[in-house]
């Protein structure tokens, strides 16, 4: 059932949705900086990913129980399984494999190819019309993401393009796109907390066989808890409310604000310097996000 609160002025609904996605991007943008705290404590990435998904699933389960959210519709359960398997488990594994095979910069570029996959999928499955303005906003953000990724990674000359890195990276971008292509119909007809409790629990279960459980220090647990509570529970809840108000390609374009936030957070916390190329990329991403967020047509 569609929320009656979404039946008002379409422009106001769209603007609210855009700001929800911006809020999600801000929370997601803190993820890398906080994850470095856990990794500095010798926490294994897959172990961190498993606990992040598990704790966030618990938070969403409690949220759904406290708010007395209706059970997930039986017709949507397979979509929730697909979102959890692809958007949590496969995404986490393929992104790490892409980093391992091709480096951080190439992995980031390919991960944020997701808006392209979303735009293609939205055109095919939702018959979403891509206006010249929307295409320009998408182009600006993608160019900016490439510039930011190159500037914050090994640099243009240091990107190692391997077949394995390309394959893993493209799969990570495709699975990231599932959040937009599967998420919108799921969130339109179900309570977001129910959808996300299902998806994250399924993702954690799918990750279980690949995890080598290593003891975590108190500091690492603090980082994991922040990632679960803020960069997963808070971010996904904001994202879900945004997806109920926006078409997928526009939401995906606005969400590319995330790598810019990540680079700024890394500079503030870890003193990672933002090069002129990175600064130019950040400006391009912000321009695309603002243009898309203000697009009421």
The two three-digit tokens of residue 136, written as one number:
């320009």
**Which band of pLDDT confidence, cut at 50, 70 and 90, is reported for residue 154?**
very low
| Residue 135 predicted with pLDDT over 70 | yes
- Residue environment code for 22-58, b if the CB has 16+ CB neighbours within 10 A, otherwise e: bbbbbbbbbbbbbbbbbeebebbbbbbbbbbbbbbbb
Please give the Cα distance from 204 to 123 (Å, whole number): 31
Distance separating the N- and C-terminal Cα atoms of the chain: 25
pLDDT of residue 224: 93
**Do 159 and 153 touch, CB atoms closer than 8 A?**
yes
* Contact (Cβ atoms closer than 8 angstroms) between residue 267 and residue 273: yes
Residue 179: pLDDT band (50, 70, 90) is confident
pLDDT band at 297 (very low <50, low <70, confident <90, very high): very low
Place of tokens 């055109």: 123
Query: Whole-number mean pLDDT of the chain?
Result: 78
What is the pLDDT averaged over residues 243-254? Answer: 75
Query: pTM of this prediction?
Result: 0.72
Judge whether 287 and 140 are in contact, CB under 8 Å.
yes
pLDDT in tens, 255-291: 777 667 766 766 676 655 656 776 677 677 667 766 6
What share of the chain has pLDDT > 90, as a percent?
27
Nearest alpha-carbon partner for 260 in 227, 242, 283? 283
CA nearest to 285, candidates 150, 144, 119: 144
Q: How far apart are CA 215 and CA 42, in angstroms?
A: 9
Q: What is the pLDDT of residues 76-131, one digit of tens each?
A: 999 999 999 999 988 878 876 776 676 555 566 677 677 777 777 777 776 777 67
pLDDT digits (tens, 9 = 90+) for 5-57: 455 556 666 677 888 988 998 888 787 778 778 878 988 888 888 999 999 99
- Alpha carbons 80 and 179: distance in angstroms, whole number: 10
């Amino acid at each position: 059932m569609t929320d009656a609160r979404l039946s008002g002025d379409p422009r106001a609904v769209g603007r609210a949705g855009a700001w929800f996605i911006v809020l999600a991007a801000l929370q997601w943008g803190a993820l890398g900086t906080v994850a470095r705290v856990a990794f500095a404590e010798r926490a294994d990435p897959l172990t961190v990913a498993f606990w992040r998904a598990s704790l966030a699933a618990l938070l969403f389960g409690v949220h759904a129980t406290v708010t007395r959210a209706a059970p997930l519709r039986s017709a949507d359960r397979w979509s929730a399984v697909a979102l959890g398997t692809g958007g949590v488990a496969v995404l986490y594994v393929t992104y790490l494999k892409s980093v391992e095979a091709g480096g951080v910069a190439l992995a980031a570029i390919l991960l944020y190819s997701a808006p392209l996959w979303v735009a293609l999928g939205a055109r095919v499955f939702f018959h979403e019309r891509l206006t010249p303005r929307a295409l320009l906003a998408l182009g600006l953000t993608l160019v900016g993401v490439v510039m930011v990724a190159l500037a914050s990674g090994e640099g243009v000359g240091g990107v190692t393009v391997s077949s394995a890195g390309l394959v893993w990276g493209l799969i990570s971008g495709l699975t990231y796109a599932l959040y937009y292509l599967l998420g919108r119909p799921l969130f339109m007809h179900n309570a977001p907390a129910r959808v996300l409790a299902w998806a994250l629990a399924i993702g954690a279960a799918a990750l279980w066989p690949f995890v080598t459980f290593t003891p975590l220090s108190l500091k690492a647990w603090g980082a994991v808890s922040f990632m679960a509570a803020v960069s997963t529970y808070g971010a996904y809840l904001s994202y879900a409310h945004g997806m109920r108000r926006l078409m997928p390609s526009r939401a995906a374009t606005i969400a590319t604000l995330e790598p810019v936030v990540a680079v700024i957070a890394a500079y503030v916390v870890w003193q990672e310097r933002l090069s002129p190329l990175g600064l130019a990329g950040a400006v391009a991403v912000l321009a695309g996000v603002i243009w898309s967020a203000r697009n009421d047509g």
